Each structure stands twice: as C-alpha cells, then as structure tokens.
C-alpha cells in the first residue's frame, strides 16, 4: 500500500481487506501498489497479493514469478502513458443475447396512440404542469398552446421550485426558447414532427450538450464542456423536443448528493430523491418538465422512479446509444425515459432507440407501440415466491393488490422463479469497470475533491477496484454468461414478468443480464408514493409487450394521476 495515501484512504483500504480476512499482512507492500509506483517487486509483495487473490504459491513458484514481474512496471507505464478519454470504450463489447441468438428482425411501425384526452386550456397555464406528454402534445399540435408558452411556464416553475428541490445543474434557457420558437413556426406551417414536437424536457447532466457544462454531478468536472451533443440529445432535437435544463445526478452516477448538495423529493422535501437519476426523478414528479431522460447501471433509474412516484423505463442493454454520455460501466450502462405515464415512456423511447454507428454495443431491433394491442397474446408471469412470502413487510398489501388487478384485466398469471446465480458476487464487474472508467481521476488524486468520501462512496470503490484480479473479473463475466442462458430459458415460457420492486436479486440480476424493466407507482403510504412501486420485466428487446402490460395496469389503477402539492 503506497505510504503516500492519506491515513483516511489507507483505513478504507484496510477495512476492505479486513473483510477478506487479510488484515495487516498487506503492509509489506501489495504487488499491485508496487507495480503501480515502480517500486521493485519482492517476495513479500507476491505473498500479500496472492492472499488477496485467494492463492498460495511455493517458494520456487514465487522465484519464477519474480523475474517476469520485475518488468511489469514498464509495461503498465507504457499503457498508462496513452491518454484515455472517458468516451473510449474497451475493445470487448458486451452482448446480452444468449449464445447463437440475435435480436428480433423487422421494421418499427409508427406508434398507435391512445385517444388523447381533450381538455380546455386553463387561464393559468401552470395548471398544465402535471399533464402527460399524451395531453400536452395534442394541445401543442392543435395550436391551443404554443411550445413557447409551455416552455416559459416550465422554466419559471423550475426556477421557483429548484430552491427546494435542488434538481437543476444548468438551465438551458436560450437554447430552449430558440427551439420552442422553431417548433411553433414549423407547426404553424403544417410541419408536425410527432408526439414530442414542442414538449419541454430535462436531461440528466451526464449527457453532453454543446455550449453548456456537463458536470457529471461531481466537483472535479463542474467546469467541463464537451463539444458535441450526445446522440440522444440529437435525436430529441430532431423530434422537435425542447431541452430546458440539465438535471442533477448523484456524483458520477451514484446517489442523490452532488457538488451542489442533495436533490430532494417533491413529495417529502426533507428526504432525498434517490439516485443517481435524482434530478430527472424529482423534476418529473414535481411537474417541472414534460419528461426527462435518466440512466441506469444498477438502480439509477429504477430507484428514483420508485422513490418519486414516476414511471421509469429501463430498456434492454444495447437498445439506446450512449455516445456522448458519461461512461461508468461499459457493459451495464443503459439510457431510458422517466415520465408521468407508461404511454409517455413509449413515445419517448420510440425516438431514442436504434444504433447510431458509434456505440458498438447498440443493436438494431424493431419497436412498435400500440396502446390498444390485445393483452391476450402476451404471456405474463409473476415471481411466485416473492408474492407468496408470508412476511408482513410494509409493501405486501400493495404487491398482493397488484396481482388482483392483473387478474381482473383477464391476464392468466404464470408462476415463475428468478434463476439462481451469485449475482452479488458478480458486482465486481461493476467495480472493476467503474475503476477503469475513472482511473485517471484516482491516480491524479482529484478523486479527493468529490463530495462523498466514505467507505461506500466512489473514491473508495475506485481504489478497491485496482485490487480486483483480472482473472476474477473475466471469470465473473463467464458466470454472467451462465446467468444469461438461465434467463433466456425463463423467458421461453413468458413475455413479461411482474415482480415486487424489492424482490431479492431482481434488480442486480436484470442489470447484469440486460433485461428491460418498467417501474410504476403502485399506491400511497402516509400520503406519498415513496418506494411504493411495482416492476414489470421484459424479454430482451421486448419493450413493446412490456410497456403494453404496464400501460394496462397503470390505466386500471390510476396511481400516476396523483401529484405532490408544491407551491
């Protein structure tokens, strides 16, 4: 362990190794630390490193290893001399499809929408703030409301409420008003681009927007400007949507604390909004944007959707290109909408999906939204053990009620169980890739500028990542291959699975296997929907069936129609 590390950092390291049962045996100098610093590797370092890896070598074996390891500092120094921008992905590209299979083929069809609710335009335009895209888009399309008026209303609301919510990093007012004016002019000429034309939206501040800071929520990057719009920003621009703000994220996509403080929950202002898509969840629930775009690696979209009572769609891994988005974990990062209804999520996803030729993980597959597609053709499973649990936890009554609703909708529910695998152990994949994504930040020492520095915060995770053996990282991905095959078998019998959001392992498992999920508000406790949610899981690239079932459930329950009281 390098003596140059501050005492607090060394204690974090020691706590980690104590958990491995190693304690002070590491003081002779861990092999990785000696190689990294250029210090000559010695026998004691090999012994300590072998303990970390769970191995034992004989005296003769260690002597043979020493000669090869003495040249390793030069090899690694040559690699580290190559500048690696966060946007450069590894040559190894993760594919969630099981062996010998491909995504569905065919062309997407234009969305078939529900009949839009017709409503009068209120004298106070702010009364529209909680309307879904399905309603707002008809008002804009029929020119009952201009995009400019809608944009100014949301901008004013963002500014007024952000003092309480802390959900905004940067307001993009000049860009927004220009886009809104262009939308109004086009619609007046009879050129209508579709459901998102003229609708104000917010982007999690890990998406590059030319001319504005892209801070990743972290102090070391708060002045960073990137010179090209992210692909999803380009696509939403092309749809006519109006970007009004870059919204907060927990720093470097973890939690709800960023360099400006904590993003708060509009339902309970003394609580955080969860993360890392903290701003998108808070702003959408608070009626400060028409919709927002978040991301998920391991819960970063699911958790704030559940906490803020909004609808979140986490698409299949490789569905939406991540070009221009901060990379955290190349084999797990996903981009999806956070909205006020399932149909809104479908309309936004319809614009986002498909390869851009630059994100090599992104695959082509059709998506066709039909709000009235027959439910009878969709096989729906439920995680039997999770719903049958006799434990009277606080959410059980909500979970049980969800099954009753689905049965009343005429869906024969098929009992299933989630495949067993060591999912938590596979989380070293996340740690190793995140450590690589922010290697330079760690080596430079600027990681100490981050707002959070505890044992569970990124700085400690990044440091620990340097001590994950490469062999174990690769073998974790091999175990992942087995898990993917087991999930493929599961989805041969069903198209969609309903599960309690908090069911054991479902979140970790599906983020590792790349399956899509839709998270919906599912009731109220003490007047808020905080963490009262239900989750629908879909087959790979099966978003159409997933959203159709979730839409039917949402229309039958109406929990999404209630909103926080904010002055």
Residues carrying an active site annotation: 204, 276, 300
d(CA 452, CA 460): 10
Nearest to 251 by CA among 282, 230, 220, 225: 220
Q: What is the DSSP letter of 166?
A: -
3-state secondary structure of 211: coil
Tell how far CA 328 is from the center of its chain.
10
- Decide: 137 and 199 in contact? Cβ < 8 Å: yes
| DSSP characters over 55-100 | ----HHHHHHHHHHHTTHHHHHHHHHTS---TT---S-----SPTT
d(CA 196, CA 236): 8
d(CA 344, CA 140): 15
d(CA 257, CA 279): 10
Nearest to 229 by CA among 207, 206, 198: 207
Q: In what order do the strands lie in the sheet with 168-171?
A: 168-171, 242-247, 200-204, 291-296, 334-339, 311-314, 517-521, 533-538, 496-500, 380-383, 413-416
- Decide: 153 and 126 in contact? Cβ < 8 Å: yes
d(CA 537, CA 381): 9
Nearest to 519 by CA among 250, 239, 359, 280: 280
Tell me how crowded residue 70 is: count the other CB atoms within 10 A of its CB. Answer: 13
- Decide: 273 and 206 in contact? Cβ < 8 Å: no
Angle at 487 between CA 482 and CA 490, to 5 degrees: 135
Strand-strand pairing, 257-258 and 261-262: antiparallel
Strand-strand pairing, 291-296 and 200-204: parallel
d(CA 406, CA 145): 37
């Amino acid at each position: 362990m390098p003596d140059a590390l501050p005492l607090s950092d060394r204690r974090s390291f020691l706590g980690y190794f104590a958990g491995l049962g190693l304690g002070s045996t590491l003081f002779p100098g861990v092999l990785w630390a000696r190689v990294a610093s250029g210090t000559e590797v010695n026998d004691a370092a090999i012994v300590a490193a072998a303990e970390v890896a769970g191995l034992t070598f004989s005296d003769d074996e260690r002597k043979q290893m020493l000669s090869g390891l003495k040249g390793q500092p030069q090899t690694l120094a040559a690699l580290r001399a190559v500048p690696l921008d966060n946007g450069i992905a590894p040559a190894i590209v993760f594919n969630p499809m099981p062996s010998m299979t491909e995504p569905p083929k065919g062309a997407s069809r234009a969305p078939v929408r529900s009949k839009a609710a017709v409503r009068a335009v209120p004298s106070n335009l702010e009364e529209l703030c909680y309307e879904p895209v399905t309603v707002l888009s008809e008002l804009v399309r029929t020119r009952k409301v201009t995009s400019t008026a809608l944009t100014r209303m949301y901008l004013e609301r963002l500014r007024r409420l952000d003092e309480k919510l802390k959900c905004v990093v940067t307001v993009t007012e000049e860009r927004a008003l220009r886009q809104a004016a262009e939308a109004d002019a086009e619609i007046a000429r009879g050129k209508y681009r579709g459901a998102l034309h003229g609708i104000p939206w917010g982007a999690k501040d890990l998406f590059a927007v030319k001319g504005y800071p892209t801070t990743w929520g972290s102090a070391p990057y708060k002045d960073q400007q990137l010179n090209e719009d992210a692909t999803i920003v380009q696509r939403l621009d092309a749809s006519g949507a109006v970007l009004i703000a870059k919204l907060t994220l927990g720093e470097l996509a973890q939690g709800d604390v960023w360099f400006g403080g904590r993003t708060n929950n509009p339902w309970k202002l003394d609580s955080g909004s969860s993360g890392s898509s903290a701003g998108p969840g808070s702003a959408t629930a608070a009626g400060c944007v028409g919709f927002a775009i978040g991301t998920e690696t391991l819960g970063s979209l699911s958790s704030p959707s559940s906490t803020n009572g909004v609808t979140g769609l986490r698409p299949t891994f490789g569905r939406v290109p991540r070009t221009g988005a901060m990379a955290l974990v190349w084999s797990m990062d996903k981009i999806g909408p956070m909205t006020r209804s399932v149909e809104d999520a479908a309309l936004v996803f319809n614009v986002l999906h498909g390869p851009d030729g630059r994100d090599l993980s992104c695959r082509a597959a059709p998506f066709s939204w039909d709000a009235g597609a027959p439910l009878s053709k969709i096989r729906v499973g439920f995680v039997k053990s999770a719903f049958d649990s006799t434990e009277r936890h606080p959410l059980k009554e909500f979970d049980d009620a969800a099954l009753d609703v689905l049965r009343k909708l005429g869906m024969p529910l098929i009992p299933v169980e989630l495949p067993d695998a060591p999912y938590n152990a596979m989380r070293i994949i996340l740690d190793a890739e995140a450590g690589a994504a922010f290697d330079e930040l760690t080596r430079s020492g600027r990681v100490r500028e981050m707002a959070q520095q505890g044992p569970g915060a990124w700085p400690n995770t990044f440091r620990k990542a340097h001590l994950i053996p490469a062999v174990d990282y690769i073998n974790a991905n091999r175990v992942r291959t087995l898990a993917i095959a087991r999930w493929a078998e599961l989805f041969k019998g069903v198209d969609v699975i309903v599960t309690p959001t908090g069911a054991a392992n479902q979140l970790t498992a599906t983020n590792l296997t790349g399956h899509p999920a839709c998270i919906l508000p599912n009731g109220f406790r003490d007047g808020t929907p905080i963490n009262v949610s239900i989750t629908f899981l879909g087959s790979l690239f099966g978003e159409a069936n997933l959203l159709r079932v979730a839409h039917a459930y949402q229309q039958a329950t109406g929990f999404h129609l209630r909103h926080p009281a904010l002055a």
